[in-house]
Structure 1
Amino acid sequence: MGNKFGFLKKSAIVGVVAALTIPLAACGGGSTKNEAGSNGSKVKIILTNGKGEIDKQFKDAAKEFMTANPNIQVDVNSVAVGDSLNIYDKLTSSGKVVTMAMFSPYDAVNKYKDVGIDLSGEKWNADTKDAVKNSDGKVIGFPFAIEGMGLVYNQQVLDKAVGGTFDPFTINTRDKLKALLDKIKASGVEYPVAYQTEAWSVANHYSSLFLNQEKEPTKITDDLKAGKFDLAKNETWNGYYDTLDLLTSKTYNKFGERPLGQYYDTAHVAVGKGDSAILFNGNWAFDSLKAVSGTKFGFMPVPVDNNESNELNNKIAAGATQVMVINKKASKEQQDAAKKFLDWLVYDKAGQDFVVNKAQIISAFKNNPNKVTNPLGVAISDALAAGKTMPFTTNYVNTGDWTTILGPEVQKYIGKQSSRADLAKAFETYYKNQK
């Protein structure tokens, strides 16, 4: 989910705000122009990468593509990790025409809804169910990255606690989660949970999960805008905060005495080492966990109530979190070159290898034979294959607003500085102002 996704990529390390921009010269000679010329000149396309953590991999991939397509020059521009301003905006404001931009699905169909060309006729649509459509039903977003979020756990710690191989999908009620936390404590882990409370995490990630009580999450956001949805009386909305109360409590949370703070790194170190066992995050957290320990990690759903048959208790949130959009303002030659790059990502072995093996991204395309090795990515892939996923609800909210406006409200609730009723009112007031 901001950039990831509206998405700032959620790292505790906020990089230099300036975007990393390195033009890549194509192999071979010839002049470089914005459009293809009759004298064999190259087509120059500008791509923006909203996932700064794969800047090097993306630029290496562009070099491979240019070797195979010497008539195309690709300039990859990556956002700095943690920078909330989309690199597309920076380049556009400087007068450049970005040929293809990486946006969150929400931004692609809202803030940037007038940017993308219709991609409905592209071949790759037959190999994915995650393409993003606009309000007219036209495909405008190529699904670049599949990601997921839920309760991340340290497999070694939980295996010890349960006395065998822990199965995350057995924890499908809040009472079972509490019983698990008690078992973890009994195994010698004083604080089973390390709950980080950054605004993006507690707001546009955790607090958006309740939208999945409807098959179309936008139904609830539409009802909220119309003032027709009473959060305070909604069992699912309340249920997620009942679970949050459990996870952030003094009994189970490493930071329970002072639940608000910059705990991202500390939480990951604690779970990575096994000093704690569980945190709420997404597959992007693996780099932080991996830096500490080689222990295996997985995902379990966030239980919302004590109904074992409730789908929300039996699935993790997963979906396309970044999409590529081709700019209407680019020339026909540039648009065609960008389409060729997308086809390369889907159908060329080098493109497939870049996405999954080198960038460790779960491909949205069923024809990609590669599988991620990142344990959290594996957990998501397995859940997808087993039909145990629900929509990635961060894609249905304005992540910038949810981080800056609603994030502090959720933090106040966690810190017991406001009531559940106050929080419900804050969400409803925000949406009534979005008409």
Structure 2
Amino acid sequence: MKKKWLAVLLAGTMTMTLGACGSSSGSSSSDSSSDSSAASSSANKDAIRFVNTKIEIDSALKDFAKQYEEETGQEVVIESLGGGVDVNGQLKNYYAAGNMPDIFAFGPDSYKSSFSDWLEPLDGEDWIEDTDYAFKGDDGKVYGMPFSLEGIGLAYNKDILDKAGIDPSTLTNIDAYKAAFEKIDGMKDELGLTSVCAVAAESGQMYWSTGNHLLAAYYSQGVDRDDKTYIDMVNNEGKIDEDRMGQFADWLQLLFDYSDQNVLISGTYDDQLALWATGKAAFITQGNWIDPSLPTYDATFACGLAPSAFTKEDTDGLIVDTPSLWGIYNKSDKIDACKEFLKALAESEEGQKALVENCGMVSPFKSCTLKPSTPLAQSMLPYIESGKTYAWDWVTQPDNMAMNATGPVFELYAKGQLDKEGFVSTMASSIADYVASSK
């Protein structure tokens, strides 16, 4: 079903003329300090202006945009916002200045709070039938095109597990993990390990990991993608399922007990990653987004992602979803041109190659046969292909709840200042208070 991108475009241009859209910057490689006005003035007035929020794919996107212009005559100007930028705030600034990009990236969590009135419906686009991850608004219409998939779980060092005689495919419930952790812990000296797990729970720097990615398991692990029971309890009532949260607390305690305590209590993300990437821990509580960092540590060991299987019942899937979407500004005068550009990225051979091979991402499109080259991304594919995935429901929890409410509770639990019951009750009250104050 893969088509050459020019052929894909020709089908659309029979009924419409390619226009242009815009991004928030200019033709120069940009970062958080990019000046949109200066960039806009340097671009052709018919150019598509496109805000990309993943700085690491800036070069690959610009290469594709250049190819696209050579083939179609349609200029696409990419602005890539750098790490640490308040993306929502930047887009709001563009809106206030009357300088909105024509295509921009947004997260599912920011749709309701920021962008629901700005996005053009995309219903009818061919790529929608080619993915399970198109973003729909409350009205059931599609407003966002996915471009990559990311997975959350426990990344494991397969070389270590092999030496310990542990098959990662058996790690589908908490009892299996307990047995594996105990066995590896008893072989730490032999395996050259500092700890079994690399976990960091200091809330000032790691709230995004604990209050988002770890809590993702409570919301979604083992839950059908369309079942929003636990996230709806939080969003609509400010409540949690205390029994399920208690099971989650047991899981956390297991991870904490087998972690390097210095990294757990006061470590940064870099400390956590270094512990695992240098072969000093068998597991790390992160996802496939750490793939690009592995060469920094000369990490050549085989590795993969295993489920955050915190219950006694088997849950053999990964939490996989698209972390952000590409949408079109509904007041753009180049909407048709924007749709054609997104279509080329999604459906053409060149577009799929740009996203998977050049950007290093996992494609959300079923027709794409290209495979990522990085190890954790590769390990996600069997789960995706077999439909064993759970949704990123955490992305729709109240804005900044991880930073201001749940992150600190993880830290108190990691420090032993809360027991299991205290963790559950404090999590319940923190969430209830935060949701109430957010309304």
Scaled to the shorter chain, the TM-score interval is: 0.7 to 0.9
| Distance verdict in 2 for CA 1:115–1:262, change over 3 Å | farther
Equivalent pairs, count = 393
Residues 348-388 of structure 1, C-alpha deviations (whole Å, 9 max, x = no match): 22111110001111111111121111111111112111222
Q: 1:280: which partner in 2?
A: 285
Letter of the 2:327 counterpart: V
Q: 2:219: which partner in 1?
A: 211
Q: 2:275: which partner in 1?
A: 270
Distance 2:256 2:131 in 1: 38
CA contact (8 A) 1:168 1:300 kept: yes
Q: 1:359: which partner in 2?
A: 359
| Distance verdict in 2 for CA 1:257–1:146, change over 3 Å | closer
Q: Say which SS state the counterpart of residue 83 (structure 1) adopts.
A: coil
Q: Say which SS state the counterpart of residue 266 (structure 1) adopts.
A: helix
The answer to whether 1:64 aligns with 2:67 is: yes
Letter of the 1:346 counterpart: A
For residue 118 of structure 1, the aligned residue among 105, 121, 135 is 121
For residue 430 of structure 2, the aligned residue among 396, 402, 426 is 426
Q: After TM superposition, which residue ranges in structure 1, 4 or more long, deviate above 4 angstroms?
A: 19-25
Q: 2:305: which partner in 1?
A: 299
When the two structures are superposed, what TM-score results if normalisation uses the length of structure 1?
Answer: 0.83
When the two structures are superposed, what TM-score results if normalisation uses the length of structure 2?
Answer: 0.83
Query: 1:69 Cα deviation (Å)?
Result: 2.0
Q: Say which SS state the counterpart of residue 75 (structure 2) adopts.
A: strand
CA contact (8 A) 1:218 1:396 kept: no
Letter of the 2:269 counterpart: Y
Query: 1:131 Cα deviation (Å)?
Result: 0.6
Letter of the 1:177 counterpart: Y
The correspondence of residues 139-158 of structure 1 with structure 2, limited to 5 A, is: 139-158=142-161
Q: Say which SS state the counterpart of residue 244 (structure 2) adopts.
A: helix
CA contact (8 A) 2:44 2:75 kept: no
Distance 1:277 1:84 in 2: 34
Q: Give structure 1 stretches of 5+ with no counterpart.
A: 1-14, 26-30, 35-42
Query: 1:395 Cα deviation (Å)?
Result: 2.7
Query: 1:19 Cα deviation (Å)?
Result: 5.1
| Distance verdict in 2 for CA 1:186–1:22, change over 3 Å | farther
The correspondence of residues 44-55 of structure 1 with structure 2, limited to 5 A, is: 44-55=47-58
The answer to whether 1:98 aligns with 2:101 is: yes
CA contact (8 A) 1:24 1:59 kept: no
For residue 231 of structure 2, the aligned residue among 202, 221, 225 is 221
Whichever structure has more helix as a proportion of its residues is 2
RMSD: 2.5
Q: Give structure 2 stretches of 5+ with no counterpart.
A: 1-29
Distance 1:159 1:48 in 2: 44
Query: 1:257 Cα deviation (Å)?
Result: 4.8
| Distance verdict in 2 for CA 1:145–1:110, change over 3 Å | farther
Q: 1:12: which partner in 2?
A: none
- Bigger shift: residues 338-347 or 404-413: 404-413
Q: 1:193: which partner in 2?
A: 197
Q: Say which SS state the counterpart of residue 433 (structure 1) adopts.
A: helix
Q: 1:411: which partner in 2?
A: 411
Residues 297-351 of structure 1, C-alpha deviations (whole Å, 9 max, x = no match): 101111222223xxxx3111001221111001111xx111111111111222211
Residues 146-178 of structure 1, C-alpha deviations (whole Å, 9 max, x = no match): 11110011111111111xxx5323012212212
Q: 1:372: which partner in 2?
A: 372
Distance 1:64 1:22 in 2: 25
| Distance verdict in 2 for CA 1:16–1:329, change over 3 Å | closer
Letter of the 2:296 counterpart: A
